[in-house]
Amino acid sequence: MKFFLDTANLDEIKAGAALGMVDGVTTNPSLVAKEGKDFRTLVGQICEVISGPVSAEVVSTDCEGMLKEARELAKIAPNIVVKLPTIPEGVKALKILAGEGIRTNLTLIFQPLQALIVAKAGATMCSPFLGRLDDIGHDGMGLIDEIRTIYDNYGFATEVLAASLRHPLHVVQAAKAGADIGTMPYGVFSKLLDHPLTTIGLERFLSDWKKLKQ
Ligand code: G3P
């Protein structure tokens, strides 16, 4: 499973990249707004740090507007993936962009038919939001299972990008369910390698080692 950082914060992206475990980045309008910087400049800076896919989202809700924004975003760097909302106008835009060779990530997916339709239309990635489903008492992880089964049944190449992951257990569950990618906030990413027994065990090894007379 690939690990993406779900943030537009450059410091977090640089810290993650330094660990060598970040395969890509996803942003959204809320995450970009938190940074208070010029959108395109910021996305360009992220693409300089991360060579893998960097998702940048359009804010138009009509096909023409989405196409205009998408083509401009795609010019920023070769690793840009244009994020489109999963609405009829977004699917129209997706088909046209796929024909132009522009990669897309269809976002705000909450049920399996949305995932099936965007795969049929040629999406590069689809982003089911698991945490937000859990928030309203639905089975977020079950959606990954359903999408995985549908994509495998028909051999779709669209990657399943598990999004809205809130804690490390979500990452484990998404990996077990066969998500191709998990995107997570830096706070979750930074816990992926943790286990208290690893910390305690290492401390013990090192203190025992110091007792050895050499
Ligand atoms: O970027 C999309 C998604 O990961 C958002 O997560 O925590 O705002 O539901 P969240």
Domain ranges of the chain: 2-213
pLDDT-derived band at 214, boundaries 50, 70, 90: confident
For ligand 1, atom 8, name the residue with the nearest CA: 164
For ligand 1, atom 5, name the residue with the nearest CA: 164
- Is there a contact between 85 and 108 (Cβ–Cβ < 8 Å)? yes
Ligand 1 interacting residues, C-beta cut-off 6 A: 6, 26, 28, 129, 131-132, 163-164, 183
The number of the ligand 1 atom at minimal distance from the alpha carbon of 183 is 4
Euclidean distance between the first and the last CA atom of the chain, given in angstroms as a whole number: 44
pLDDT at 213 over 90: no
For 11-40, what is each residue's pLDDT tens digit? 999 999 999 999 999 999 999 999 999 999
Average pLDDT, the chain: 97
Note the pLDDT of residue 170.
97
- Predicted model pTM: 0.95
The CATH code that applies to domain 2-213 is: 3.20.20.70
Percent of the chain predicted with pLDDT > 70: 100
The number of the ligand 1 atom at minimal distance from the alpha carbon of 131 is 9
